[in-house]
Structure 1
Amino acid sequence: MQENYLAKWLSGDLSEEDLAEFKKSDSYASYQRLKQVSDTLQAPDYNTDTVLEQLKKERIENTPKIVALNPYRNFLRVAAAIAILLVGSYFYFNSFNTSITTEVAERGEVLLPDNSEIFLNADSKISYSKKDWNQKRNVSLEGEAFFKVAKGKKFTVSTDQGTIAVLGTQFNVENRDGFFEVTCYEGLVRVIHNNKENMLPAGNTFLVINHKIVDAGQPNSTKPSWMNNESSFEATPLSFVFAELERQYKIDISLKNVDEKLLFTGSFSNTDLNTALKSISTPSRIKYKIEGDNVLFYAENMP
């Protein structure tokens, strides 16, 4: 994008051809949103004609600076517009959600404004609005997190596969591609999936695998196993087990003659890779080879 596109766009001097080119740039969408915010703001009254008249009375019109009155007036308009844009950008960017992300093989802990706690598993992200928190306790989740919610107004967790609503309780949500699981450890959780409401008392799990609701076992502890450095599964396709193994250890897994739909019940350690590989391969009757950060799983009858 040319450097003078922004000034010309703000002053309305861009040609149709330049405007079309400007709209193709990566920056245009951000500038457009900022301009919408700045349009709601008002700059102080500034009468350039009055100022110029005063300057004339002081005989400044005889100096070389007065030769370019119109360009100077255009410059003032652009400068004022940019100033308003900067003020608008301050309010705009400060209204953004707060986001916290964990990388592969990393965990995180978040303390919300109401002292609710969120524990993030590997490769997960939450976002929420600090500005509106007292009016609307809402968290957006990608990945997996354990929630310890302080009592108060309704607390909601939004995912692309469903919404979870509570008042004050403890629960775990896993929202991965093709996998959606909510487990209530304390209190009562309301899960809305495909516009249907499911009430989940403590000690129960709501599970959806590949868009199908499946029966899930009851949790045998007061918090999810991953918080105790283990990943546990109940009749779960191996494809999801392998995906979790990659997230916990930052490795790449490849398969040879292995049925990813094979159901796996068990757990693996999140702190010892060799132990984890044996915990998966032995009950699944498959073998593995490690080469650096790559792990190959293959069937026992493979040459």
Structure 2
Amino acid sequence: MQENYLAKWLNDELTESELSEFKKTDEYASYVRILRASDQLEAPGFDAEKALMALKNRRTLNETKVVRLHPFKKFLSVAAAVAVVMLGAYFYSNTLDENIVTGFAENKEIVLPDSSEVILNAGSQLTFNEHSWEDNRNVRLDGEAFFKVAKGERFTVATDAGTITVLGTQFNITQRQGIFQVVCFEGLVGVTYQGKETQLPAGNIFKVIDGKIIPTGAPTGSEPSWLHKESSFKSVPLKYVLAEFERQHNLEVETQNINGDQLFTGTFSNTDKELALKSICTPSQIKFKFEGTKVLFYGE
């Protein structure tokens, strides 16, 4: 059969003689079956909008980088993150300090993890770490406090002025602006001041005023007077006495024409301000008057 018979047949262009000759070929019957089958086929419907949307979706998928994690690897990642958070929380909690603060005209009693007792005077702060207490019985004091230390390993109180070290005893520490004083009521206390340690047996006082060590006699009584609602002083500059009055009575103090460096020896009440004012002014030969919420101390 000539090569163009099939095309001419499909286009119905064969002559009678060519068609007769084409029908005699072996391929003719096959071409007829193919043609009949193709006539029964229907072209699928075409939706242009759906086709466009499908094309856009394929482009988005091709442009997006998808990272697939193995389920076990994902579990390990989550577990590692949780472990980091828990470890951080543990170290944070172990470095977190307890801070106990007293305001003016306020005292607080604190029981430490080893059952040692501390009583904070007004306007003071005590800091310690409960989590590391078994390894280090260390506290920091700013202000004044009376300690009853349970017997055990070394107990250390750090202040801006000096460090106090004991094993088990009772003592009082005052660390205010210009004053550093340690009174030992029981046992033995080691006081380190300016790099030098002084052993302080019971019944002795270590006192520093304005950077100068002041020899002082034995304390009166077995406890500091402020535990009994009184503030006592022996040869202390008047300016520090008035500052303590301000803390104990929560009153603002001002001064006029008085010598704050004159020494004061005496006691005033921490609960009765009128009595306290007379106890301060009479021996100091000064006067006072109230000006609103303030107290003015003034000279003649």
TM-score scaled by length of structure 1: 0.72
Task: Determine whether 1:90 maps to 2:86.
Answer: no
How far 1:83 sits from its partner (Å)?
Answer: 5.7
Look up the SS of the partner of 1:295 in the other structure.
strand
Equivalent residue, structure 2, for 1:201: 201
AA matched with 2:257: N
Partners of 1:201 and 1:224 lie apart in 2 by: 16
Write out aligned runs for 1:125-164 (5 A). 125-164=125-164
CA RMSD of aligned residues (A): 2.7
Partners of 2:237 and 2:193 lie apart in 1 by: 21
Change in Cα spacing, 1:260 to 1:68, as seen in structure 2 (3 Å) is: farther
AA matched with 1:104: F
Partners of 2:230 and 2:199 lie apart in 1 by: 27
Change in Cα spacing, 1:86 to 1:180, as seen in structure 2 (3 Å) is: same
AA matched with 1:144: E
AA matched with 2:203: G
Change in Cα spacing, 1:283 to 1:84, as seen in structure 2 (3 Å) is: same
Change in Cα spacing, 1:177 to 1:67, as seen in structure 2 (3 Å) is: same
Look up the SS of the partner of 2:89 in the other structure.
helix
Write out aligned runs for 1:184-195 (5 A). 184-195=184-195
Equivalent residue, structure 1, for 2:250: 250
Q: May I ask how many residue pairs the two structures share in their alignment? A: 235
Change in Cα spacing, 1:192 to 1:67, as seen in structure 2 (3 Å) is: same
Equivalent residue, structure 1, for 2:103: 103
AA matched with 1:180: F
How far 1:248 sits from its partner (Å)?
Answer: 0.5
Write out aligned runs for 1:206-225 (5 A). 206-225=206-225
Equivalent residue, structure 1, for 2:64: 67
Change in Cα spacing, 1:69 to 1:261, as seen in structure 2 (3 Å) is: farther
How far 1:92 sits from its partner (Å)?
Answer: 3.8
Look up the SS of the partner of 1:227 in the other structure.
helix
Partners of 2:87 and 2:290 lie apart in 1 by: 54
Task: Determine whether 1:116 maps to 2:116.
Answer: yes
Identity %: 49
Gaps of 5+ in 2: 1-57
How far 1:291 sits from its partner (Å)?
Answer: 2.4
Gaps of 5+ in 1: 1-60
Partners of 1:177 and 1:62 lie apart in 2 by: 75
Partners of 1:208 and 1:82 lie apart in 2 by: 54
Task: Determine whether 1:271 maps to 2:271.
Answer: yes
Equivalent residue, structure 2, for 1:261: 261
TM-score scaled by length of structure 2: 0.73
Partners of 1:137 and 1:274 lie apart in 2 by: 41
* Bigger CA radius of gyration: 2
